[in-house]
Amino acid sequence: MQVGVMVTSYNHRDWDRMLAGEYSQPAATSDIAIHEETMKLGAMVEPLGFDAIWCAEHYGSPYSMQGNPLQWLAYWAGRTQRVDMGTAVIVAPWWQPVKLAHEIAMLDLLLGGRRLHIGIGRGISSHEYAGFNVAREESRERFSEMIQILKRSDTDRFEFKGKHYTVPPTTVRPSARHRGSLFSDVRGAFNTPSSMQVAAELGLGQMFVTATSLEVMAKGVARFNAIRRKNGLPPNQPTVMMYLHCSTDKAEIARARTYAAEQGWAARNHYAVWNAEAFENVPDYEDYAKAFRQGRELQENESILSEDSHLIGTPDEILEKIARVQERISLEYLILHPQHGSKPAAEARASLELFAKAVLPQVQAMATPLHAHSLGTAETAPSEGVMGGAVG
């Protein structure tokens, strides 16, 4: 099994200021200071033996402060020699398609033969959509058209005419190192059954945060593969992101559960509370009101994540959980998220170091079979609800 690391920045305690609307006051901790700690974490990934650096795309809030994932990963491409890079995710409707195709091709070129794992999604928060002057209710159509354009861009000459995008005959230059296969294994991020259906029908792989129970996730994987089979596509094994804290100290492990709960609270702030519009009346977003419990207060330490979503515990406990996740959902690729909530940066780095020493070799040696129960039928998953958490 390959294991990547999410390297992204959260100025978690600045939510107090943001929610109070105290914009005339400076953040207690500057974004620069937060980013400097994130850089230290990123610099550890390759020496510790991990397989890739991953990042998200978000704007405007203290949550996951990497605006352009391809720019961020280009920096790490220059800092490293061995590890791959991955996006979790590029938010397709926020991009101009020809520019996105060129930026992806350039990063693939800069990686010198290393792999660029492309995760792509359609975005959730109203304030991010407003910042790009894009109607959120158009997101699913725009996402579908963008996937078609990117796949066509992987040839020497392409064009496209759709409802939202028109691309006259053009060519991506310089061409990608992996032209012809650059978009052959794109992962689609989804949280709801309706988004899952779109991703499967577009021929995308599956990527999600493990936010629900393993049984719900297992049903979702089976349903995803049933849709793919119906469309003449082979089954796919998921890439998942899990919150990590590896320690042998009981008190530290207990604190880590609080940090994970804080991350759920921060995600809810970003997507559904701060500067946010309701989901209920927005086409294709109705399920998100349930996912983020919109309409009621949520305490910062009140977890909205399933126990199955965490890799929090001792090295032995974490290794056992990863093996269990692989068996239940046919996990193929694991992304660790070591820095989240208000966790001190030093604790995140120590946790990652211990995982690398005591767990990583066994996980990288772990087989990743596709289990029969992951093939599924249309009856194996619920038709509503959420399959995972928001990636990032």
Per-10-residue mean pLDDT, the chain, length 392: 98 97 97 98 98 98 96 98 98 98 98 98 95 96 97 97 98 97 95 84 94 91 94 96 97 96 93 88 79 70 79 98 98 98 98 98 98 79 49 52
pLDDT of residue 379: 54
Are β-strands 2-6 and 52-55 bridged in parallel, bridged antiparallel, or unpaired? Answer: parallel
Expressed in angstroms, the distance from the first to the final Cα of the chain is: 21
Name residue 3's beta-bridge partners: 334
Q: Which helix (H) or strand (E) holds 310?
A: strand 310-313
Burial class (CB in 10 A: 0-12, 13-18, 19+), 193: buried
Rounded-to-integer distance, Cα 140 and Cα 162, Å:
13
Give, in degrees to the nearest 5, the angle at Cα 310 between 29 and 242.
Answer: 75
SS3 11: coil
pLDDT of residue 296: 64
Residue with tokens 């596509």: 233
Identify the CA nearest to 6 among candidates 101, 76, 80.
76
Identify the CA nearest to 318 among candidates 359, 348, 361.
359
What ranges in 46-162 are assigned the alpha helix state H?
A: 69-79, 97-110, 126-131, 139-152
Name residue 142's beta-bridge partners: none
Q: Residue 61, by phi and psi: left (phi above 0), alpha (psi -120 to 50) or beta?
A: beta
pLDDT of residue 389: 53
Contact criterion met (CB below 8 Å) for 232 and 215: no
Q: Which residues contact 139 (CB under 8 A, 6 or more apart)?
A: 93, 122, 123, 129, 284
Q: What is the pTM of this model?
A: 0.95
Q: What domains, with CATH codes, occur in the chain?
A: 2-380 (3.20.20.30)
Residue 173 tokens read as: 């230059």
Contact criterion met (CB below 8 Å) for 81 and 26: no
SS3 286: helix
